[in-house]
């Protein structure tokens, strides 16, 4: 119940900034003001790239590194970008499609996840009463449910539910079965991480190590050389573990991200929200979410003084 309540709070937290659209990005670090839009807006970063969706004159578009794609009659539901590729989903005449750098995948009844890398992509979709995953044209399934999807150039992973059990598929290798849902999954070319419940506790499995048990976990992220996650133990507060370096305690931790050379996490202290990015502090803000951390790019969305912003590579204050 606690885990489900936390999930609901995270969803509400994300919805607080859905009615905005990006005006521009600035690598020099200005706080970029966002202007009002009537529907959901997507933002995505990569190590040397960016993408976002926006609405203009009643139509929807995707801006990928300054190039506009569209128009579409529906809002962009899922957006994922890499340095040289992009993927997003949209509806047309009541059917769901994914555009993977001009390759159209679909139509389907619905699309749950889109994930892209420069040389790979994945789409999780619902059709004819079942759910499937396509990884670069190879179809997996059918499944009763799919809860997560992540791809890198050389690897992929997804969480699926079949025969009343949960499993994690990492590049064709199945882990499980597990009795409870698996909420967090992260994939890199040579590493992976996911959480699972065991004996009333939560453990984290990566390629070479198992962490835990913990009373709760709120996020996991891996790169080829780094591992980051947040955890909670009863009688204590939240902490962040990045490559076995512990930060905290914090009242709450909502997001964690790592790259080979950097890290970041969003935490709450004395009722205010802050971001720590590779040792630099940002905040306080009323809300922070959509955290991205790469070797050459980082950014996050925040709310302050009634305004909604996205900040790319800002200078710390």
How many alpha carbons fall within 13 Å on the CB side of residue 83? 10
pTM of the model: 0.88
CA angle 213, 191, 234 (to 5 degrees): 20
- Give pLDDT tens digits along the chain (317 positions): 344 434 433 333 333 333 344 444 444 444 454 444 445 578 899 999 989 898 889 899 999 998 999 999 999 999 999 999 999 999 999 999 999 999 999 999 999 999 999 999 999 999 999 999 999 989 999 999 999 999 999 999 999 999 999 999 999 999 999 999 999 999 999 999 999 999 999 999 999 999 999 999 999 999 999 999 999 998 889 999 999 999 999 999 999 999 999 999 999 999 999 999 999 999 999 889 889 999 999 999 888 777 777 888 887 65
What tokens appear for 297 in the block? 């790019």
Residue given tokens 């994690």 in the structure block: 168
**What pLDDT score does 306 carry?**
72
* DSSP structure string for 233-279: -TTS-EEEEETTEEEEEESEEEEEEE-SS-EEEEEEETTEEEEEETT
């Amino acid at each position: 119940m606690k885990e489900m309540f936390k999930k609901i709070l995270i969803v509400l937290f994300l919805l607080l900034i859905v009615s905005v659209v990006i005006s521009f990005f600035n690598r020099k670090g200005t706080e970029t003001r966002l202007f009002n839009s009537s529907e959901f807006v997507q933002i995505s970063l990569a190590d040397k790239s960016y993408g976002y969706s926006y609405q203009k004159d009643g139509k929807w578009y995707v801006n990928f590194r300054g190039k506009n794609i569209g128009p579409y009659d529906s809002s962009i539901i899922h957006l994922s970008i890499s340095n040289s590729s992009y993927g997003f989903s949209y509806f047309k005449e009541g059917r769901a499609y994914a555009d993977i750098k001009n390759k159209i995948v679909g139509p389907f009844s619905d699309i749950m996840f889109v994930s892209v890398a420069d040389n790979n992509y994945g789409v999780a979709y619902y059709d004819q009463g079942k759910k499937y995953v396509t990884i670069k044209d190879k179809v997996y399934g059918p499944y009763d449910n799919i809860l997560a999807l992540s791809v890198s150039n050389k690897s992929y992973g997804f969480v699926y539910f079949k025969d009343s059990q949960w499993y994690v598929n990492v590049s064709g290798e199945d882990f499980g079965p597990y009795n409870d849902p698996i909420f967090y999954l992260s994939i890199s070319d040579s590493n992976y991480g996911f959480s699972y419940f065991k004996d009333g506790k939560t453990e984290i499995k990566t390629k070479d190590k198992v962490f835990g048990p913990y009373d709760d976990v709120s996020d996991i992220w891996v790169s080829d050389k780094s591992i980051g996650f947040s955890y909670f133990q009863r009688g204590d507060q939240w902490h962040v573990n990045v490559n076995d370096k512990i930060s905290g305690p914090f009242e709450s931790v909502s997001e964690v991200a790592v790259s080979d050379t950097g890290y970041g996490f969003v935490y709450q202290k004395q009722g205010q929200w802050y971001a720590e990015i590779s040792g630099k502090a940002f905040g306080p803000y009323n809300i922070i979410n959509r955290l991205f951390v790469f070797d050459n790019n980082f950014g996050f969305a925040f709310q302050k003084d009634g305004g909604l912003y996205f900040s790319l590579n800002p200078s710390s204050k």
